[in-house]
A = this chain, B = another copy of it.
Amino acid sequence: MKALVYHGPGKKQLDEMPKPALREATDAIVRMTRTTICGTDLHILKGDVATVAAGRILGHEGTGVIDEVGAGVSHFRKGDRVLISCITACGKCDYCRRGMPSHCESGGWILGNTIDGTQAEFVRIPFADTSLYPIPATVDEDAMVMLSDILPTGYECGVLNGAVKPGDTVALVGAGPVGLSALLTMQFFTPAKIIVIDLDDNRLEVAKKFGATATINSTDGKAVEKVMAMTDGKGVDVAIEAVGVAATFELCQEIIGAGGHIANIGVHGTGVTLHLEKLWSQNITITTRLVDAVTTPLLLKTVVAGKLKPLQLITHHFALKDILKAYDTFGNAGRERALKVILTND
């Protein structure tokens, strides 16, 4: 079968690879029909993610059709259309039972990381019963792909951890695909003001279409000043960091109001300065989270109900065989005005 393989820092190829086979009774083999590329895949390709060995098939998102199931799989059978979660959950360990499968003792984020992933014609999914979801007949399959990772990530790490409430003023720092996922899903809780901050005017325009009530291009270094002016000098109730660099986490600390929440989504490569000399007395809550993807069933209900419209996150389509082109487009997201790209294998 065809698959996108990582061959060490800077190197990837569309290779012919053996079709995966069942290993454990709880496995399923899924024939992929849709997949996509994540910002994390770009990090891997830079060599930033030490757990990914050369020879690994990348990808942790997508949809497909069940090709084969192990004897221990009870909820799916051959032919079922399924959504693949980026988080593999054994459903049995302490972490899974505490609702934190991101730290599952035998799962977590392993697809396209420590085991072969979804940017391929077939993929082996461990613990299929607790790591796959049936796709309702009425839902567009492209939309489903957005539920593999970015929508649960924006919702869980940004919106739920940020504890967005009706009437709140929320600042979202970073309007990439995950930030925009937080933007879409924070509206489940009806904040009064949503201020989106980014360096890219195109993304800020998209943010306005997606529901931002105000946008700030922070290139001029005046974002703090502007946010304070918009909040009568009190700062925001919730600041969501969706970039992953020190400067944006710093910004969140400067604009957060007393009693506020800073919800980190960004993947950070270095430490940051936490200004406890100022914040110790400000009744602040700061959260971090690797997505658990436990809200996937809930998000699916909101998609079926028409309350969440994931298709607007998708800007480009390619055939799976053209995945190198897709990487090129997604890797130059600014120039290409790309959000998410869909890879089709029908």
B270-A272 in contact (CB<8A): no
A193 — nearest CB in chain B belongs to which residue? B305
A97-B294 in contact (CB<8A): yes
B91-A130 in contact (CB<8A): yes
A276-311 interface with B by 8 A CB criterion: 276-277, 279-290, 292, 294, 297-299, 301-302, 304-305, 307
A1-59 interface with B by 8 A CB criterion: 25-26
Q: Does residue A138 face the partner (Cβ distance < 8 Å to B)?
A: no
A279 — nearest CB in chain B belongs to which residue? B288
Q: Which of A202-210, A260-268, A315-323, A332-340 forms contacts with chain B?
A: A260-268
Q: Which of A71-79, A116-124, A141-149, A222-230 forms contacts with chain B?
A: A71-79
| Interface 1/0 per residue, A55-94 and B, CB below 8 Å | 0000000000000000110110000000000000011101
A321 to chain B, nearest CB (A): 33
Q: A25-B71, A274-B271 are in contact. Are A166 and B129 (CB under 8 A)?
A: no
A272-B268 in contact (CB<8A): no
A171 to chain B, nearest CB (A): 15
A264 — nearest CB in chain B belongs to which residue? B280
B129-A307 in contact (CB<8A): no
A189-B188 in contact (CB<8A): yes
A303 to chain B, nearest CB (A): 9
* Highest count of chain B CB atoms <10 Å: which of A94, A100, A189, A190: A190
Q: A286-B285, A297-B97, A302-B190 are in contact. Are A71 and B71 (CB under 8 A)?
A: yes
Number of interface residues of A (CB under 8 A): 68
* Highest count of chain B CB atoms <10 Å: which of A26, A71, A75, A281: A281
Q: Does residue A219 face the partner (Cβ distance < 8 Å to B)?
A: no
Q: Give Cα A165 to B159, complex, Å.
A: 13
A245 — nearest CB in chain B belongs to which residue? B276
Q: Give Cα A292 to B165, complex, Å.
A: 19
Known: A91-B92, A95-B258, A272-B273. 20 other contacts (CB 8 A): A71-B71, A71-B72, A92-B129, A94-B297, A100-B259, A103-B259, A166-B298, A166-B302, A167-B299, A167-B301, A249-B276, A264-B276, A266-B280, A271-B273, A272-B274, A273-B274, A282-B288, A282-B290, A284-B288, A286-B287
A–B Cβ pairs within 8 angstroms, 13 of them:
A91-B91, A167-B297, A189-B190, A190-B190, A192-B302, A192-B307, A268-B277, A269-B277, A273-B273, A273-B274, A274-B274, A276-B288, A279-B288
